[in-house]
Every structure is written in structure tokens, then in C-alpha cells.
Amino acid sequence: MEDILDLYHRPYDPDFPLICMDEQPIQLIGETRIPIPATINHPEIIDYEYKRNGTANIFMFTEPLNSWRNATVRITKTKTDWALEIKELLNVYYPNANKVILVCDNYSTHTMGALYATFPPEEASRLLKRLEIHYTPKHGSWLNIAECELSALTRQCLDRRMGDLETLKREVNFWKVNRNTLQKGVDWQFTTADARIKLKRLYPQIKMS
């Protein structure tokens, strides 16, 4: 926990950008009847019945100190999906950074081995040399700032039915572009000193003789 909190209070460094990453599954839900458009007398009417059209997964990357985020939609959330997202992050969005500092949850897919399982050894090694991973502690995913972005995405974009993958991709991309244009950032205030006071119960009690 303290490792993550200390990272959040480092000064901005474009050569070593701090990126937070998280992911969220979403169910594709289609309509069984055409909704009735809103009029001056009533809001839009949507039938309670729906149909399930499978699931998808949203990968969220955000750089809190630069008010930037990227959200992409994939059908699955495998090691290969994560590895491909990491490659795009390093090669497309941060090609000139010496090393990307990545904060993510300790899932079985978020591993260095995922890169070796996806790419040739030379490519996996090249990517890993530009990546420094810091995992949030177990039951401590609230420390991941990417969760704030996923929360905003859920409230502002995913609060309605989306019945197919292309619609979901289009809406998520529109949200991402708009939020980046507005330069929405995160003002993280919680510090290591705060943690040692407010979360004192989580620290071992050491008695000095």
C-alpha cells in the first residue's frame, strides 16, 4: 500500500510516466422491442424485457498527472489481451518514455510471463525493459486510480443498454475522446502518513523492549 501511495506523490516526469491500469467486464444487452421515443408528454419508454448478447471487457489506462486516459474494448480478458494492450501502451502512446511505471491489480493475467506467452522472447524482453510494474495489495484495489476512471465511464457512458460490440466500442471511444478533451484529472489526497493514522489497525503492532 505504501509503495503505491508513494508513487502517487512523485513529481511529474515525462521520461518515467505513471500509468494506472484496470479492467471491467460488461454484459452486452439488446432490446427485444423497439423503444418508444420520448415526447413532450412522457420520457423514452423501454420495455423491461431484454436479451443477452454475450460479454466484453474494457481495458482502462490512465495517466493521472497528465489528465489522459485510454479505454479499449475486447471480447476477452486473457493474458494475450493484456499483453497486446501493454505493447500498444508502450509503442503507440509512450514510445519516447524511458520506462513506464505501471500500477495494476495482481491478476493472474497481469504478469511478465504474459508477454513471453504472447510475443517472441526478444520482443517480450524489449517491452519488459521499458516497464516497471507495481501491484496493488490484495483487497486494496481502491488504491488504483484507474478505478476512478472506470467509475466515471460506468456512470457517464455505460448506464444504458448496449446490444453489440461495435456500439460499445463506438460509445466508449466517444467518451474517452470527450473526457481527454475536457482534461479531466484526479486529485489524489491520501498519503502514506494518512494511511499510518487512519489504517493503523492494518499495521503489525511491534513492541519495543
> Could you tell me which of 138, 90, 83 has the C-alpha nearest to residue 110?
83
Q: Say yes or no to pLDDT of 139 above 90.
A: no
Q: Is residue 191 part of a domain?
A: yes
Cell numbers of 3, please? 509503495
Between residues 98 and 42, the one the model is more confident about:
98
Residue with cell 504478469: 111
Q: How confident is the model at residue 14 (pLDDT cuts 50, 70, 90)?
A: very high
DSSP assigned state of 137: P
Range with the lowest mean pLDDT among 47-51, 89-93, 136-140, 189-193? Answer: 47-51
Residue with cell 432490446: 31
| pLDDT mean over 162-177 | 93
The range of the structural domain enclosing residue 101 comes to: 2-202
Q: Say yes or no to pLDDT of 200 above 90.
A: no
> Could you tell me which of 73, 49, 47 has the C-alpha nearest to residue 60?
73
Q: Say yes or no to pLDDT of 98 above 70.
A: yes
Q: What is the pLDDT of residues 120-130, one digit of tens each?
A: 999 999 999 99
- Asked whether the beta carbons of 128 and 115 are under 8 A apart, the reply is yes
Q: Is residue 97 part of a domain?
A: yes
| pLDDT mean over 70-79 | 95
Q: What is the pTM of this model?
A: 0.86
Q: Say yes or no to pLDDT of 60 above 70.
A: yes
Q: Is residue 192 part of a domain?
A: yes
Q: Is residue 44 part of a domain?
A: yes
Give how many domains the chain has, as a whole number. 1
Q: Is residue 207 part of a domain?
A: no
Give the pLDDT confidence score for residue 49 in this predicted structure: 67
Q: How confident is the model at residue 91 (pLDDT cuts 50, 70, 90)?
A: very high
Cell numbers of 149, please? 476512471
Q: Is residue 209 part of a domain?
A: no
Give the pLDDT confidence score for residue 31 in this predicted structure: 64
Q: Is residue 54 part of a domain?
A: yes
CATH assignment at residue 12: 3.30.420.10
Q: Is residue 208 part of a domain?
A: no
Work out the angle at residue 80's Cα, subtended by the Cα atoms of residues 75 and 81, and round it to the nearest 5 degrees: 35
DSSP assigned state of 100: E
Residues sharing a CB contact under 8 Å with residue 112, sequence separation 6 or more, in sequence order = 124, 128, 133
Contacts 24+ apart (CB under 8 A), 87-93: 87/115, 87/119, 87/127, 89/19, 89/61, 90/127, 90/130, 90/131, 93/61
Share of residues in the chain with pLDDT > 70 (%): 95
Q: Say yes or no to pLDDT of 32 above 70.
A: no
Give the pLDDT confidence score for residue 195 in this predicted structure: 85
| pLDDT mean over 80-90 | 97
